[in-house]
Amino acid sequence: MERFTKLKVLGVLLFYPIIWILNANAQPAPDITSLEEKNTLKKIEKTYNVKSGGNLTIVSEFGAIDIQTAEQDKVEAVIIFSPADSGVDNISGVGNVVGNNNVVNNVVIINGKVQNGSKSKLDPRVKEAVEDFEVTFEYKDADVRIEGKFKRGRKYWRKELNRLKIRFQLTVPQQYNLDLDTSSGGILVTDLDGYIRAETSAGSLRFGKIKGTVRGRTSAGSIKLTSCDSTVDVKTSSGSIKIGDVAGNVQAQTSSGSIRLDSVGGTVNARTSSGSIRASLAGQPREACSLHTSAGSITVTLMPDITVDVDAETSAGRVSTELAVASVIRGKVPKNRLKGSINGGGPLLKLRTSGGNIHLQKAAD
């Protein structure tokens, strides 16, 4: 018993120093916002009183666009210039090794402790490019127009653009219309009651729940839309397309990537040169629908009472269906082709793939 008591006391004496060491090493959570502020090279801020239902136009030679909405009668604009690789890397765990030979202003945090590593100096020409980038504002009634361009031209700074980041951050009324155009950068729009036209030469497009038409174009990047109560027309030269619930018609095209349409109430026209297509027709189309891929499978989900004429064919694969199709093909029906009517027929549903299977799937009642 005496030996057990001594061991217990010894254990307590050893335990409390460990607690003290752990508390001594603990660091307060760093202020991420203040660290990011230190990496800002320049900031422009403007606020305009507007009415709901107005228009925001952004035309810029460079920069990403981020649009948020709020229940307010004003447009708040913040344009932030920073080094391209600036930011905060928050790493948790023990034994982390961080290596980056190209760090400019990046902040690395390991287990809550800011690492004071050496950082290379920012190229003076990047700062010159920042000062050369001119941002102009126009304001009339409910409309705001913002334009950004390099006074010496974009080509003059082509080397510096890899080391520069410009972001247009705006908050607009919930009911507002957007016309967005940037030559380089992604575009993000949260939930909005209004139409959107968004175009970028290099970057992804991200849209939330939109109550209005959506038209999006990107030369290199993926496209994602949560939902839309009107029509959708999107196109990318390289990237996938993912669209949620759409009440109206959908036009979706990509040169390289898959297409997924979760629920479409109107007609569908989807085309990809390389990738699979999945689409669900939640309503009765009034016009012809077409889904085409050069390399990939096609899966279409149809309501049990839909009335369409089906014309499905694959060059390398097979066609299958869960719905009854009154075939118009005489003789033995080939495995790679299906042509006929569903529930008496209706608008044409044309499905084509050069390499992959085609499947007609019945939606749950």
Confidence band of 86 (pLDDT split at 50, 70, 90): low
Per cent of the chain over pLDDT 70 is 80
Q: Which residue has the higher pLDDT, 68 or 87?
A: 68
Asked whether residue 154 is assigned to any structural domain, the reply reads yes
Asked whether residue 301 is assigned to any structural domain, the reply reads yes
- 153, 81: one domain: yes
Q: How many CB atoms lie within 10 A of CB 130?
A: 17
Calculate the average pLDDT of the chain: 86
Asked whether residue 11 is assigned to any structural domain, the reply reads no
User: Is the alpha carbon torsion for 266, 261, 297, 332 positive or negative?
Assistant: negative
pLDDT tens digits along 238-248: 999 999 999 99
At residue 345, does pLDDT exceed 60?
yes
Amino acid identity for residue 360 in this structure: L
Amino acid identity for residue 110 in this structure: I
Comparing 91-100, 148-157, 296-305, the range with the smallest average pLDDT is 91-100
| 3 state SS for 40-91 | CCEEEEEEEECCCCCEEEEEECCCEEEEEEECCCEEEEEEEEEECCCCEEEE
At residue 66, does pLDDT exceed 80?
yes
Q: Give the DSSP letter string of 29-42.
A: PP-HHHHHHHT-SE
- 297, 163: one domain: no
- 177, 287: one domain: no
**Torsion angle of the four alpha carbons 245, 248, 251, 252, in this order, in degrees rounded to the nearest 10:** 0
What pLDDT, on a 0 to 100 scale, did the predictor assign at position 168?
A: 98
- 295, 175: one domain: no
At residue 175, does pLDDT exceed 80?
yes
- 145, 266: one domain: no
At residue 20, does pLDDT exceed 70?
no
What pLDDT, on a 0 to 100 scale, did the predictor assign at position 329?
A: 86
Beta-sheet strands, E only, within 126-195: 133-140, 143-150, 164-173, 177-182, 187-189
- 224, 76: one domain: no
Confidence band of 19 (pLDDT split at 50, 70, 90): very low
- Cross-strand partners of 179: 57, 197
Q: Which residue has the higher pLDDT, 23 or 184?
A: 184
Confidence band of 330 (pLDDT split at 50, 70, 90): confident
Q: Could you tell me if 227 and 210 are in contact, meaning their C-beta atoms sit under 8 angstroms apart? A: yes
What pLDDT, on a 0 to 100 scale, did the predictor assign at position 49?
A: 97
Asked whether residue 102 is assigned to any structural domain, the reply reads no
Domain that holds residue 114: 32-89+107-182
Taking the CA of residue 236 as centre, how many other CA atoms within 13 Å lie in the half-sphere pointing to its CB?
24
What pLDDT, on a 0 to 100 scale, did the predictor assign at position 331?
A: 75
What's the average model confidence in pLDDT over 332-351? Answer: 95
Asked whether residue 38 is assigned to any structural domain, the reply reads yes
The CA–CA distances, whole Å, from 363 to 17, 32, 93, 305 equal 65, 48, 46, 10
At residue 172, does pLDDT exceed 70?
yes
- 158, 115: one domain: yes
- 70, 154: one domain: yes
Q: Which residue has the higher pLDDT, 6 or 205?
A: 205
Confidence band of 340 (pLDDT split at 50, 70, 90): very high
- 316, 235: one domain: yes
Asked whether residue 8 is assigned to any structural domain, the reply reads no
pLDDT tens digits along 133-167: 999 999 999 999 999 999 999 999 999 999 999 99
Pick from 182, 213, 237: which residue ends a domain? 182
What pLDDT, on a 0 to 100 scale, did the predictor assign at position 46?
A: 98
Q: How many domains does the chain have?
A: 2
Q: Is 188 exposed, middle or buried (0-12, 13-18, 19+ CB in 10 A)?
A: buried
Asked whether residue 196 is assigned to any structural domain, the reply reads no
Pairing of strands 113-114, 241-246: unpaired
Q: How many CB atoms lie within 10 A of CB 25?
A: 10
- 131, 265: one domain: no
Confidence band of 87 (pLDDT split at 50, 70, 90): low
- 209, 351: one domain: yes
The CA–CA distances, whole Å, from 232 to 56, 153, 174, 253, 317 equal 20, 34, 20, 11, 30
Asked whether residue 4 is assigned to any structural domain, the reply reads no
- 174, 234: one domain: no
Query: Nearest Cα to 49, choosing from 30, 71, 76?
Result: 76
